[in-house]
Structure 1
Amino acid sequence: MTKTYFISDLHFSHELMLKIYPKTRNFKSVKEMNEYLISLWNDTIKPDDIVYNLGDFAFANDDETERILKRLNGKHHLIFGNHDKRLKSPKFDAYFASRQEYLYLKNKPNLVLFHYPIFEWDGFFRSNIHLHGHMHDKALLLPRAFNVAYDFNARFLELDEIKSLAKNS
């Protein structure tokens, strides 16, 4: 059965993350961090699963980014973050099912996906859910707004889990 997952702010190859977020990135090197994140991805995401990555995927050069992307399972959708400019290049077309700045997913309830937190999103008053990243280890503290950043959750969040959290928020 295909599952749908959400994550953001993986920051592959971004050495500064090791210093800023030692709680979730307690690694001796960027290489160790990258290998761990690839393992986490592939242990969670099966080949038929869907991943919505809400940005800041990699802080690597194009060749290293391609090497990482080639190793990842699933159907990968990217919502661009502030560190994803190079991923807009056509050379990365084959690695993504879609790439966009913002995505409104019709679901029950609907989902508003954006790298940045929004204080009032489309459908805010109609129980729509907002998923974001960018804040790394901080929460927005609004009902039905969830930070899916790696440094906040240390894992991928699955769609059914998010729906359950939204019912209780």
Structure 2
Amino acid sequence: MPNVFLISDHHFGHASIIDFESRPFTNVDEMTETMIEKWNSVVRKEDKVYHLGDFSFLNKDKTASIVSKLNGYKILIMGNHDRGRTRRWWLEAGFDEVSEHPIVYGGFFFLSHEPMYMNKHMPYVNIHGHIHGQKYEGNQYINVCVEHWDYTPISFEAIKALVVPNEEQ
């Protein structure tokens, strides 16, 4: 049975992100190779991955080369750095689906690039990226930026376990 994973903000090809976010890489090539290895260490070919934006700063050919090396059926929810390119560009780069807007998943989870406004009375959870090493308080926000998950996609089952205690699942 396929698993579902989430991740965001790889920033492939963005050398400055290494310093901005204190990433443990000496250069973009090491960062790229390590992040591809970590993705493929958990994601199988039959799995589905929601990438919540800011995937690559590279040209289409280099981006397509990276996408082709990543396991799974890949869905991109465009982030602020992705929106300078069209949905078609990202599809041609190898994503299986591309959304310019947040997606409601499982009737309960909002998948978005930027965190969405959620008050404490809303029964929803926002799974998001964008804020890198920062984290919002409370269990209504799950930040899936690579910095929080050792550059490895996190399974939807692991996210559900963070939100809903075992006895309630």
TM-score, reference length from structure 2: 0.88
Q: Identity percentage over the alignment?
A: 31
Q: CA deviation at 1:42?
A: 1.0
Counterpart of 1:97 in structure 2 is: 96
Determine helix, strand or coil for the equivalent of 2:55.
Answer: coil
Q: Which runs of 5+ in 1 are unaligned?
A: none
Matches within 5 A, 1:11-160: 11-22=11-22, 25-85=23-83, 87-93=85-91, 95-100=94-99, 101-107=101-107, 110-120=108-118, 125=121, 127-154=123-150, 155-160=152-157
Residues 91 and 126 (structure 1 numbering): CA distance in 2 closer, same or farther, change over 3 Å?
closer
Counterpart of 1:4 in structure 2 is: 4
On the 8 A contact 1:45/1:74 being kept in 2, the answer is yes
Q: Which runs of 5+ in 2 are unaligned?
A: none
Q: CA deviation at 1:143?
A: 2.6
Q: What code does the residue aligned with 1:55 have?
A: G
Determine helix, strand or coil for the equivalent of 2:61.
Answer: helix
Structure 1: distance between partners of 2:111 and 2:6: 10
Q: What code does the residue aligned with 1:161 have?
A: A
Determine helix, strand or coil for the equivalent of 2:49.
Answer: strand
On the 8 A contact 1:47/1:74 being kept in 2, the answer is yes
Q: How many residues align?
A: 162
Structure 1: distance between partners of 2:74 and 2:15: 24
Structure 2: distance between partners of 1:88 and 1:140: 30
Which range is displaced more, 46-55 or 159-168? 159-168
Structure 2: distance between partners of 1:74 and 1:10: 16
Which range is displaced more, 47-56 or 78-87? 78-87
Q: CA deviation at 1:88?
A: 2.4
TM-score, reference length from structure 1: 0.88
Determine helix, strand or coil for the equivalent of 1:10.
Answer: coil
Q: CA deviation at 1:59?
A: 1.1
Which range is displaced more, 13-22 or 3-12? 13-22
Determine helix, strand or coil for the equivalent of 2:98.
Answer: strand
Q: CA deviation at 1:133?
A: 0.4
Deviations 1:80-104 (A, max 9, x none): 1011135524243252232112101
After superposition, the CA RMSD in angstroms is 1.8
